[in-house]
Amino acid sequence: MIRWGILSTANIARTNVRSLSKCSNGTCHAVASRSKEKADKFAEEHKIPLAFGSYDELLDCQEIDAVYIPLPTSLHLEWVVKAACKHKHILLEKPVALTAADLVQMITACKKNKVLLVDAAMWKHGPRAQQLALAAKNSIGKVRRVRSHFNFAGTLDQAFIANDIRIKGDMDKLGCLGDLGWYTVGNTLNLLDYAVPTSVIGVPSLRHSESNNVIAAAAILKFDNGVIATMDCGFDSCLKQSICADGELGSVSVDDMVIPSSEEVVTYRITRKHDCTRGASDPFASSCFSETVTVQTPKAQQVLMFEDFNQAVHSGLTSNSDWHWIEKALTIQSVVDAIQTSCDSNSTEVPVVVPAMPTI
């Protein structure tokens, strides 16, 4: 049983403590806050055995095997390195870093100290993500376009605008790109077997008046095989969390890309053309067939994320496959970096460069 410590009492920590409570191979053993009073209250509420008034105290505790870090992104590099040096395995909230270069430093520290680092992108761990990728590869012909959207109307909530760390430049300068954009980019790459776009164009449509953080944006991702992906994300419009890949023979799509409408059963749609042989001579003549595919999920994707992590730790990190989650995260981070650079450079086209994974 992996014993977990939580470095924060933020709302997202509450969600993941509940997920940990449903794990078969891990348990929440400690929580830390900069306020001992807050840590004590959180521990009592969630029946956590230990509470600490500083993050360092938790990292020094010999009863902790792994830590979940949902701190502001600007603090990730510091606390991941500290946790790695204390030989704690790390689940890191996304966006995992302010830049891909920072993430490389984190991976290096973790590999040097023989601890696991995984991004807390829960959607990767549900069975639908793998099935979607296979459907895009095998069921709709050659993929030509991918469209993704993730938005919610945070701008209608004055408390959100005033207090959310994603708005504050000193806490998370990536704004909506590091949060909502992390999902749109990640899900897009999942449908394209994590091919790296050659270049991106980012278009910011709304910035915060004080921090200048991007709070709504769109982007175009160009791939060397001719595929084009488009995405938009923002805190300024009604909830939408969808993705669609269009192929030569059909399409595959999801309308609840990030937070499924059900924890037990999730779905996706495949639309196929019955007769594409008439092609350009009569493109509207072919009929369509749409199928809703049901995927049974043994547990919620957040719970599966922790169980996958715990299993990797139990295995002793004997396989390079234990690092595939963070390797994919490095690709996502690099694409987000390029979109951010484009947004800050008058929407110029920016090449995507993914650093090599450290080999220590």
Looking at 145-243, list the stretches that DSSP marks H as alpha helix, in order from N- to C-terminal side. Answer: 158-163, 175-191
Residue 356 confidence (pLDDT) above 80 = yes
Residue 231 confidence (pLDDT) above 60 = yes
The three-point CA angle 104-33-7 to 5° equals 30
**Using one digit for the tens of pLDDT, what is the confidence trace for 46-99?**
999 999 999 999 999 999 999 999 999 999 999 999 999 999 999 999 999 999
Q: What percent of the chain has pLDDT over 70?
A: 95
- In DSSP terms, which residues pair with 273 in a beta bridge? 288
The pLDDT score that the predictor gives to residue 288 is: 76
For the ranges 3-7, 217-221, 275-279, 330-334, which has the lowest average pLDDT? 275-279
Residue 279 confidence (pLDDT) above 60 = no
Angle between helices 100-112 and 324-343 (to 10 degrees): 160
CA distance linking residue 145 with residue 161, whole number of Å: 34
- DSSP annotation of 279: G
The pLDDT score that the predictor gives to residue 360 is: 76
Q: Which tokens sit at 178? A: 């590091």
The pLDDT score that the predictor gives to residue 320 is: 64
Residue 353 confidence (pLDDT) above 90 = yes
For residue 284, the SS3 value is coil
**Using one digit for the tens of pLDDT, what is the confidence trace for 4-13?**
999 999 888 9
Which of 13, 126, 146 has its CA nearest to residue 69? Answer: 13
Which of 219, 195, 121 has its CA nearest to residue 354? Answer: 195
- In DSSP terms, which residues pair with 117 in a beta bridge? 90
Residue 274 confidence (pLDDT) above 80 = no
- Average pLDDT of every residue of the chain: 93
Q: Do 57 and 64 form a contact (C-beta atoms < 8 A)?
A: no
Which of 258, 68, 74 has its CA nearest to residue 149? Answer: 258
The three-point CA angle 177-195-297 to 5° equals 75
With a threshold of 0.75, does the pTM exceed it?
yes
The three-point CA angle 22-26-32 to 5° equals 95
Q: What is the DSSP string of 225-266?
A: TS-EEEEEEESSSS-EEEEEEEESSEEEEESBSSS-S-SSEE
Q: Do 51 and 27 form a contact (C-beta atoms < 8 A)?
A: no
> Where does residue 263 rank: exposed (0-12), middle (13-18), buried (19+ CB within 10 A)?
middle
Q: Stretch 169-193: mean pLDDT, rounded?
A: 96
The pLDDT score that the predictor gives to residue 280 is: 54
CA distance linking residue 343 with residue 214, whole number of Å: 8
* C-alpha R_g of the chain: 21
- DSSP annotation of 302: H
The pLDDT score that the predictor gives to residue 11 is: 86
For residue 263, name the pLDDT band (cuts at 50, 70, 90). Answer: confident
Beta strands in 98-224 (DSSP E): 117-119, 143-151, 199-207, 214-222
Q: Which tokens sit at 180? A: 């909502």
Q: What percent of the chain has pLDDT over 90?
A: 86
The pLDDT score that the predictor gives to residue 315 is: 84
**Using one digit for the tens of pLDDT, what is the confidence trace for 98-133?**
999 999 999 999 999 999 999 999 999 999 999 999
Residue 275 confidence (pLDDT) above 70 = no
Q: Stretch 334-347: mean pLDDT, rounded?
A: 98
The pLDDT score that the predictor gives to residue 298 is: 87
**Using one digit for the tens of pLDDT, what is the confidence trace for 283-316?**
665 567 889 999 999 899 999 999 999 999 988 7
Q: Stretch 338-344: mean pLDDT, rounded?
A: 98
The pLDDT score that the predictor gives to residue 264 is: 86
The pLDDT score that the predictor gives to residue 285 is: 55
Residue 137 confidence (pLDDT) above 60 = yes
Q: Stretch 238-262: mean pLDDT, rounded?
A: 95
Residue 278 confidence (pLDDT) above 90 = no
